[in-house]
Every structure is written in C-alpha cells, then in structure tokens.
Amino acid sequence: MNIEQILDTFLRHSPALIVAIPLLGAFLTPLISKINEKARNAFVIITILATNFFIFLLASDVFAGNIHTYVFGARNISTPLVRILFEVDGLSAFMIIIAGILSLAAVIYSWSFMKENTGLDKFYTLMLLMTAGMLGMMLTGDMFNFFVFLEITSIASCALIAFWTNKGKAVEAGFKYITISAIGALFVLFAIALLYAQYDALNIAVLANNIQYTFLDKIALVVLIAALAMKAGIVPMHMWLPDAYGRAPASVTLLLVGATQASLYGVFRVCFTLYGKRLGTTIAGSIGEGISLYILLGTILVILAIVTILIGVMMALKQIDFKRMIAYAAVAEIGYMFLAVGAGLTTLGTAVSMNAIKGGIFHIINDALDVGLLFLVAGAIYYATKQTSLNNMGGLARNMKYTTVFFLIGLLAVSGMPPLNGFASKILIYESVYQVNPVLSIVAILCSILLLAVFIKVFHSAFLGPEQPDLKDVKEVPKSMLLAMGLIACIIVFFGLFPEMVVNNIVQPAANALASNMNYISQVTGVI
Amino acid sequence: MIYNIPFIAVVALVLIGLYTVVFKRNLIKIVIGITLIESGVNLFLITLAYRQDSTAPIWHGITASSDNVPFMSLPVPHALTLTSIVIGVAVLALMLSLVIHIYRHYGTLNVNKLGGDEE
Amino acid sequence: MISIDTLLETFKTGSGLWNPLVWITGLAIAFLIAYILRGYGKKEYKEKTEQTKSFLSGNPEYEKEQMHIKGSNVYWGFMESLRWFYKIFNKMHTGLVTDYVLWFVIVMGILFLLIGVI
Amino acid sequence: MNGGMSKIVKTISSITFPLALIYGLYIIAHGHLTPGGGFQGGAVVASGCAMILVAYGSIWTMGKVKEKQLSILESLGAIAFIGLAFLGLIFGFVFFKNFLIGEGLIFDNPALGLSDIYTAGFIPLMNFAVGLKVIAGLFAIVLVMAYATTKKEAKTK
C-alpha cells in the first residue's frame, strides 16, 4: 500500500475515527497515568493531535464538495435504514474544526494550569470524553445518537465544572448545569420520540425527507428549539451559563464554549435540515394566515437573538467577577450568530440571506476563538494572582506582558475592532442584517460598542494603573499556558488578516450546506 | 381508549416532574423530579413500541413460513429506552454525588439558601 | 498550497468590501503622520516642578496605589442612570436552579403559542 | 452503621450474594439471546455488591476493595468494548463490523434462536465488556458515596 491508498483508507474511516480515538484515549488515560504524569499528559496531547489530523483530513475533503457518510457495522447504506449513520457535510466539517482547535488548546493549557491538582487522570479522561461527545454531536446523522452524544457531553462537562470540589460555588454551578442539561436532553428525547412515532425513522436525512409538519411535528419543533437553545445559552434561559463558565477551571470553560456551540449547531440543523423540506409551508392558522414557516422561524430566532444580545451585554457591563463578565459577553456573542442566521432564514433564497448566513457561520468560529482566548487569559490571571474579582486587580500589565498582549488581541477581536477577525464577521452581519431590517443592525452595532466598553473596563481595572501592593510578586504564567493562548491568538490574527480566504474555503461550504439541505437528504435516501 | 392510558400517564409523569423541579425547594426533590420526567419519556418510548397483541421481541428461530408467527413489538424503541435508562443512571449518580458535596459545604439542601451567586 | 493571490483578495461582504492589509497600511501612515507632528511639540518644560504635577481640582494627591479606579467603580455614572434597568434584571437573575427551569418552561410555552397555535 | 449491621443480616447477605452474582452473570452471558445484556446483568451484580456494602458497612468494604482497582477494571471494560469495535475496523473493514460472524473462530454462527448460545459473533464479548464496566462503575459509585457520607459523620462527632 502506498501513501495515497493509506490516506484514502484513513479518509474513508475518519468520521468514525474522529469520535473513536478520543474515546479510546479517554479510557486508556487512567492506565497510562500509572506510569507517570508526564507520560499521561503527552499521551492526551498526542490523542488530541491524532484526532485533529483526522479532522483536517476529513474537513479538507468535505470542503471540496463531497458529503461523507459512514455506516457503523456495514459497508453500505441499506434500506430500511436501521444502522447508526454518521453524515458529514460542510457545516459539520466546519464545526468539528472548531472543536478540534479548542480541545487542542484546552489540553495544552491544562498541562501547567491544573498541575497542582490531584485526580488529574480523571480530569483528562473526562476532557477526552467531552471532546468525543462534542465531535459526535457534530458528526452524527442520527437523532437518537445526537441525544446520546448530547448527554455524554453534558455529563462529562458537569463533572468537569464541579472538578474543584473544595469550592462550594463550583459544585453548585455543576448541579445547576446538570439539572438544566438533564431536563433539556430529556425534552430532546421526547421530541425525538414524537418524530419516531410518526415516521418510524431516526435518521435525520430520512426524517427530513418524510416530514409532513403535522401538529406533533410542531410540538417536536418547539421542544427541540427550546431545549437546544437553552443548552446554547439563549436569553432568558442563559442563567446557567455564567455560573458554569465562571466557576469551571479555565481550560474546561474553553471546552464548554465548544459544547455550547455544538448545541447551537443542533438548533441550526433542526431548523434548516430536519424541517428544511417544509420551510416553504404556509401556515393555516387563524392569525398567521399565509405566513411561510421560514419567516415565522426566522422571526423567532431574530427576536431571541436581539433579546440575547441586549441583555447579555448589559449584564456583562455590570459584573465584577472576571470570568462571569466574559461569560455574559459570550451570551451576547451567541446572540449575534442567532441574529445573522435568523435574518438569513427570514429571507431564504435571496443573496442577502446567503450573506447573512455566511456572516453568522463565520462568527461561530470567530466567537469560539475570541471568547476562548479571553477565558484562557482570565484563567492565567487566576493562576498568577488567585483572584477572580476585578476589584482586587490592577497593574498586572507590568508583570504579565505576554498575557496582556493576548488579552488585547482577544479584546479587540471580540468587540469587533478592525483588523481582527471579529470585525470581518460582524461587518458581514451588519450589512446583511441591515437589508433585512435596519433597526436590527443598529442594535447589533450599539451592543458591539458596549461590548468594547465592557472589555475596556477589564483592561483598565486589571491590567492598567499603578502596581497593587499585594500583587507585587506576580509572575508570568508557565510556557504551556502561553503556548495555548498564542496558538489561538495566531489563528485570530490570521483570520483577521485574510478573511476572504477563510470565507471562501471554509465558511462558504458550510453556508451552502445550511441553505441547501437537499444534498444532505439525497446522500442517504437517494431521492433528489 | 384503553390504549391511550399510557400516553395520559406519560403526560402526567412529565408534568408532575416539571412541577417538582420548578416548585420544590429541596435538592433531593429536584433530583426526584428529573427522574420522574425521565420515566415519563421512557414510558413514552416503550408505549410507541407496542402494537396490539404483540409479544416481546425475542427471536425464537421461527421462520415466517410457519402459521402462528408471533407478532412482535418493535425492538428499536426498547433499545432506545435501555440507552436512556443507562444515561439516566449516570446522571442520577452524578447529581446525587453533587448533592452530597453541596450538603457538606453549606449544611443545607434548601435551594433558596444556596443561590444568590448573582450580585 | 494556498497561493499568495488568494491571501491578498479583498473581502466582499455583498454590499461593501473590506481589506485588512490596506487598512493596516493606512493606519501605519496615520501613525507616521502623528509621530511627525509630535516632533513639533515643545521640548523645554521643566521636570520635577509644578509643571509636571497632576492637578486634581485642588484636592491633595494620594499615593499612586490608592489612585487606581477599581473594577466596580468604572462606569459608575452609566450604572446609576440605568438603575431601573438593572433593578428589573437583577430580580430576574435569582441564581436559583428552579427558576432556570421555570424560564425554560415559559419560553417553551411562548414558542408553542407562536409555532403551534398560529 | 459504620461497623455494619447485625450478624443475621451479615450471614444472610453472605449466602445470597453468590446467588445475585450468578444470576447477574447469567443475564450477561445470555444477553444476545434473551432480554438483558451487559448493563442489566452488571446492575444485578452491582446491587449484590451494594447489599454486601450495606450489610458490612462501607469502611470494612473499603478495606477489601480499593476504589482504584475498580476504576482500572472499569476502564479495562471500556477499552475492551472500543477495542472490539476497532478490531471490526481492522478485520472487517468497517468500524463496529461484526467480524467474528462466519469466520469459524468463536461464536461464529448468526443467531439461531434461543436454542444456541454459541452465536452472534462479537456481541457476547461486547456484553461481557459492558458488564465488567457496569459492575465496576456502579459498585465504585455506591462505594464512594457510602464512604463519603461516613467520613462526614465521623467529622461531626
């Protein structure tokens, strides 16, 4: 076998391997940690690197225009479809790239950040499990499998949030998170059961092909959107998010950002693919006579998004705890994605819609990187000073030069300042949403300015100013943490400087996959 | 009519569970509420599997040619329910261990006395 | 691999365009001009006299460490003028897990009214 | 409570524990033929272990079984499960492929009904892997929980 054949074999099996390698690594970690700590850390990093290799192999092929399917336990898709099936289109490939980058940075960061803790073999096991769950949610083409991966992600992340069990608040945040996610996931299962009862199928493509938009389908749609939006942190169901983000170790928070976006992916998948064939249905009700479903759904998403952006930013402005503040800003950022995709949904089929969806999807990766970088900086400050409240900080820029630079990059990127990546996606959102409704765009820009104000507050009170007496001997954080932050910062600057290349090569296929769902359906069912 | 009773039970279980989670202030009761919702959803899945006069989906090696082929209920929802139960056990164990930790830190199980993380 | 032309392409947003490299060049030129203008400034001020001391409306100057404006004091006026807003939203953010679930049920109900009934 | 319950309870649970063990292992072994399988059988065995735990007290049990050993057993079970799936990739060219069917190695017949236990390819093996994981996992959870609560009592006294 020459190298091309090997790569081809790898490519064919990569959807399964992307989930299987972290899973295998997760269960090998407790055994390997018997050797010594360094071997375990290196093993975990190698596992994630191998996963990333397969992710990029798969993504590069999917972005070239192919849709990959992988049937477990059989060579080909057979009818009737009873097997578990992974289906990877542009959007899934885009999302797994995000998850891959985030998990790599999180694992590198944990090397020094978690060094002083005990029970780290369990920490890394859970981290790899969470990565596997996230990747599974993004890759799967089966509704029930989606639920299983959703639960794997929530259980692993809950245990990680409460990892610092000596802190009461952390345990409490973990309890809140598991309550919320258990209820959300159970309602998702309920909706899946409703769909299964009618169409005798669990595969997303088969369901999407058969869906009729009956009354039960409406209930399923409501439950799916509400539960997944709660997991994505949409206002007014966002309150678990500052608790969980604020109390978790920083590297876990980075992964939680990915988990939140996996739920966001779920919302988009449900709206655009699962109900994609019925988006043109006109509603035959007494009040909304003649409105098409896509306008109704898009309007709902836009309303949720505007509320999310406004409240997220306003609450962020008031926070004093560093990580809680970033968490509220992350809530607002999720709102931007909802806004763009919702606006794209209301004008489905036009050029404006395509630009809006492109902006929304581009913003997903930008938000993950920007907010993730800020969380890592917050973790670095906690590592160096053991403080979380902004009131106890000041003048940190004197001793933590690299961290300050990374924070500045994250600050400018997340608040949409040129020339970083946040600006590139936000200008796409502003301009396309303006054509849908100018008011939406104005609110979005205003809140973006407020977001800048939020982080200027942090920058001023934590990094600038005179040196505080009890922070005199603060040192720069260890190299592995700087490496993780630098990795993300480099990607941010690269995306900021060459946005057109990123949009053309990565975002455009994902937007196409979202806007035209028929390829996704016909790949499995053979119907065109 | 008799075949609709499970569905009524499903709705009742889910609603009782939601009521428990929303209005009860004891952490253990919240956990119980979540398990109630879970049993409701599991009952729903199991009910979907049942067809009138069907037997359990165990293959006895009887081929379709013989006369009295037993009419089986659907096996797929059973598998789904089983998976859901396994996940439920994990969630339950995790929640209870968190409750133990919370009780250690605060000495109370009352939600009102925890909360207040917001300033 | 990626050719240099694809990297330098201008980002088209459908109704406008955006090129970070041109923008950075412009920014660099602006900095250069500012630097040149700065050179024309006065140089003959006297150090360690009244001229370089900060003036705080006649109040005495504290030590540098106490002069730092803490996190909760930044944007004080903004918070004060929007007190009514924060009053409402502080009431909303109770921090109780039961309320979180209640919000979920409420949103599900509203969505059901919007999607299911209409 | 910490020293366990009365002698009667201890004796009876010692007698019934092997029964629970055998019944659970029976359910695991017949998982591919009858209702049941790795999880159900494992839960039965783990409940038997929990009975011993209740009867003898958590401190005594903690002296006999270490939580670390259980967690190693648990990861071994999980590794066996995923390893079998990977073997499917290597020998059957698809992940989770039932590669033992028709190979003449072990469990090589397709399902023949209730009569024959020597069937169903690698599904019995997977049942054993899951069973091992569930026994170790559930017992570890119950053990740690019981132990955690005893420490609390000792501290308050």
- For C4-24, the pLDDT digits (tens) are 776 667 777 777 788 888 888
What's the pLDDT band for C71 if we cut at 50, 70, 90? confident
Q: Which of A225, A239, A233, A237 is nearest to A260 (CA)?
A: A233
pLDDT mean over A451-460? 88
C-alpha count within 13 angstroms, C-beta hemisphere, residue D62: 16
Task: Locate the chain D residue with the closest alpha carbon to B99.
Answer: D145
CB contact under 8 A, B115 and C105: no
State yes or no: pLDDT of B119 exceeds 50: no
Counting every residue, how long is chain A? 528
State yes or no: pLDDT of B13 exceeds 90: yes
pTM of the model as a whole: 0.92
Q: Which of A158, A165, A149 is nearest to A180 (CA)?
A: A158
> Which two three-digit tokens encode residue A41?
């850390």
Quote the minimal CA–CA distance from A329 to chain C in Å: 16
Distance CA B98, CA A158 (A): 10
Q: What are φ and ψ of residue A499, in 5° steps?
A: -65, -35
> Which two three-digit tokens encode residue B106?
């605060």
Please report which helix (H) or strand (E) contains residue A88, including its range: strand A85-88
C-alpha count within 13 angstroms, C-beta hemisphere, residue A480: 18
CB contact under 8 A, C14 and A432: yes
- What 3-state DSSP class applies to A12? helix
Among the residue ranges B12-21, B92-101, C72-81, the one predicted with the least confidence is C72-81
Which residues on A lie below 8 Å from C86 (Cβ)? 314, 318
CB contact under 8 A, B91 and A172: no
Which range, A79-93, A387-401, A477-491, D132-146, is most confident?
A477-491
Domain spans, chain D: 7-156
Q: What are φ and ψ of residue A292, in 5° steps?
A: -80, 160
Which residues on D lie below 8 Å from A29 (Cβ)? 75
pLDDT mean over D88-107? 71
Is there a domain that residue A30 lies in?
no
Identify the pLDDT of residue D157. 39
Identify the pLDDT of residue A287. 65
CB contact under 8 A, A182 and B34: yes
Name, in order, each residue with C-beta under 8 angstroms of D32's C-beta and a sequence gap of 6 or more: D111, D119, D120, D123, D124, D127
Identify the pLDDT of residue C34. 94
Is there a domain that residue A247 lies in?
no
Give contacts of A 245-284 with B, CB under 8 A: none
Question: Which one of D34, D39, D74 makes the best mutation probe of the B interface by having the most chain B beta carbons within 10 Å?
Answer: D39
What's the pLDDT band for A239 if we cut at 50, 70, 90? confident
For chain D, the three-class secondary structure string (H helix, E strand, C coil) is: CCCCCCHHHHHHHHHHHHHHHHHHHHHHHCCCCCCCCHHHHHHHHHHHHHHHHHHHCHHHHHHHCCHHHHHHHHHHHHHHHHHHHHHHHHHHCCCCCCCCCCCCCCCCECCCCCCCCCECCCHHHHHHHHHHHHHHHHHHHHHHHHHHHHHHHHHHC
What's the pLDDT band for D58 if we cut at 50, 70, 90? confident
Is there a domain that residue B110 lies in?
yes
Q: Which of A312, A331, A338, A349 is nearest to A450 (CA)?
A: A312
Identify the pLDDT of residue B9. 92
Tell me how many degrees the CA angle A425-A268-A48 measures, rounded to the nearest 5: 75
Among B45, B91, B98, whose Cβ lies nearest the Cβ of A171?
A: B98
Chain segment B54-80, per-residue pLDDT in tens:
777 776 665 555 556 667 778 888 888
Identify the pLDDT of residue A519. 80
User: How distant, in Å, are the alpha carbons of A417, A516, C29, C97 from that of C93?
Assistant: 30, 39, 48, 10
Q: Indicate the DSSP class of residue A277.
A: G
CB contact under 8 A, B98 and A155: no
What's the pLDDT band for A376 if we cut at 50, 70, 90? very high
Which residues on B lie below 8 Å from C102 (Cβ)? 22
Q: Quick check: C98 and B25 in contact, CB under 8 A?
A: yes
Q: Quick check: A338 and A228 in contact, CB under 8 A?
A: no
Question: Which one of C4, C94, C115, C117 makes the best mutation probe of the A interface by having the most chain A beta carbons within 10 Å?
Answer: C115
Q: Quick check: A99 and A262 in contact, CB under 8 A?
A: yes
Chain segment A144-182, per-residue pLDDT in tens:
899 999 999 999 999 999 988 888 888 888 999 999 999
pLDDT mean over C71-77? 82
Chain segment B31-50, per-residue pLDDT in tens:
999 999 999 999 998 888 88
Q: Is the CB of residue B16 less than 8 Å away from at least one CB of chain A?
A: no
Quote the minimal CA–CA distance from A83 to chain D in Å: 11
Which residues on C lie below 8 Å from A184 (Cβ)? 104
State yes or no: pLDDT of D24 exceeds 80: yes
Is there a domain that residue B99 lies in?
yes
Chain segment A10-44, per-residue pLDDT in tens:
888 888 889 989 988 988 888 888 888 889 899 99
Q: Indicate the DSSP class of residue A398.
A: G
State yes or no: pLDDT of A494 exceeds 50: yes
Identify the pLDDT of residue B65. 54
Q: Quick check: A373 and A410 in contact, CB under 8 A?
A: yes
State yes or no: pLDDT of B7 exceeds 80: yes
Distance CA A450, CA A432 (A): 21
Query: DSSP states of A26-87 as a string?
Result: HHHHHHHTTT-HHHHHHHHHHHHHHHHHHHHHHHHHHHTT--EEEETTSSS--SS--S-EEE
Residue B94's CATH number:
1.10.287.3510
Is there a domain that residue B21 lies in?
yes
Q: Where are the alpha helices (H) located in B50-108, listed in sequence order?
A: 75-106
Is there a domain that residue A477 lies in?
yes
Which residues on B lie below 8 Å from C105 (Cβ)? 18, 22
Chain segment D100-156, per-residue pLDDT in tens:
766 666 666 666 656 666 777 777 888 888 888 888 888 888 888 887 777 555 544
State yes or no: pLDDT of A137 exceeds 80: yes
Q: Quick check: A183 and B34 in contact, CB under 8 A?
A: yes
Q: Quick check: A345 and A303 in contact, CB under 8 A?
A: no
Distance CA A478, CA A500 (A): 35
pLDDT mean over A481-510? 89
Helix, strand, coil percentages (3-state) for chain A, rounded to 5, are: 75, 5, 20
pLDDT mean over A442-464? 89
Quote the minimal CA–CA distance from B83 to chain C in Å: 24
Among the residue ranges A371-380, B51-60, B95-104, the one predicted with the least confidence is B51-60
Quote the minimal CA–CA distance from A345 to chain D in Å: 37
Q: Do chains B and A touch (3 or more CB pairs under 8 A)?
A: yes
What subunits make at least 3 CB pairs under 8 angstroms with D? Answer: A, B
Distance CA D147, CA B97 (A): 11
CB contact under 8 A, D138 and B86: no
Distance CA A209, CA A277 (A): 7
Distance CA D39, CA A368 (A): 37
Chain segment C20-67, per-residue pLDDT in tens:
888 889 999 999 999 999 888 877 777 777 777 777 777 777 777 777
CB-based burial of residue C25 (10 Å sphere; 0-12 exposed, 13-18 middle, 19+ buried)? exposed
How many separate domains does chain B show? 1
State yes or no: pLDDT of D4 exceeds 60: yes
Rg (CA), chain C: 28
Q: Indicate the DSSP class of residue C18.
A: E
N-terminal to C-terminal alpha carbon distance within chain D: 14
Residues in a beta bridge with C114: none
Query: Measured over all CA atoms, what is the biggest interatomic distance in chain A, rounded to whole angstroms?
Result: 72
Percent of chain A exceeding pLDDT 90 equals 34
Identify the pLDDT of residue A350. 84
Question: Which one of A6, A24, A142 makes the best mutation probe of the D interface by having the most chain D beta carbons within 10 Å?
Answer: A24
Identify the pLDDT of residue A527. 55
Q: Which of A257, A251, A249, A255 is nearest to A169 (CA)?
A: A249
Among A20, A70, A72, whose Cβ lies nearest the Cβ of D82?
A: A20
Distance CA D157, CA D154 (A): 5
Question: Which one of A11, A27, A120 makes the best mutation probe of the D interface by having the most chain D beta carbons within 10 Å?
Answer: A27
Chain segment A274-286, per-residue pLDDT in tens:
888 888 777 766 6
Q: Do chains C and A touch (3 or more CB pairs under 8 A)?
A: yes
Which residues on A lie below 8 Å from C97 (Cβ)? 175-176, 179-180, 240
State yes or no: pLDDT of A380 exceeds 80: yes
Among A176, A218, A453, whose Cβ lies nearest the Cβ of C115?
A: A218
Which residues on D lie below 8 Å from B97 (Cβ)? 141, 144-145, 148
Name, in order, each residue with C-beta under 8 angstroms of B80's C-beta and a sequence gap of 6 or more: A144, A193, A196, B45
CB contact under 8 A, B95 and A196: no
Identify the pLDDT of residue D1. 47
Q: Quick check: A247 and A167 in contact, CB under 8 A?
A: yes
Among the residue ranges A73-77, A102-106, B78-82, D71-75, the one predicted with the least confidence is A73-77
Question: What is the residue-averaged pLDDT of chain A?
Answer: 87
What's the pLDDT band for A520 if we cut at 50, 70, 90? confident
Give contacts of A 496-525 with D, CB under 8 A: none
Residue with tokens 């609709």: B4
Identify the pLDDT of residue D151. 59
Quote the minimal CA–CA distance from C40 to chain B in Å: 51
Q: Which of D126, D74, D79, D72 is nearest to D99 (CA)?
A: D126
Q: Indicate the DSSP class of residue C117.
A: I
Q: Quick check: A137 and A124 in contact, CB under 8 A?
A: no
Domain hosting A329: range is 288-497
Q: What are φ and ψ of residue D109, in 5° steps?
A: -85, 150
Task: Locate the chain C residue with the closest alpha carbon to B26.
Answer: C98
Q: Which of A150, A263, A321, B114 is nearest to C98 (CA)?
A: B114
User: How distant, in Å, are the alpha carbons of A415, A428, A436, A514, D96 from that of C11?
Assistant: 19, 10, 21, 21, 45
Distance CA D113, CA D117 (A): 9
Identify the pLDDT of residue A395. 82
Question: Which one of A129, A153, A183 makes the best mutation probe of the B interface by having the most chain B beta carbons within 10 Å?
Answer: A183
Q: What are φ and ψ of residue B72, in 5° steps?
A: -95, 150
Domain hosting B105: range is 2-53+74-114
CB contact under 8 A, C90 and B115: no
Whether the bond into A236 is cis, omega within 30 of 0: yes
How many separate domains does chain A show? 1
State yes or no: pLDDT of B116 exceeds 70: no
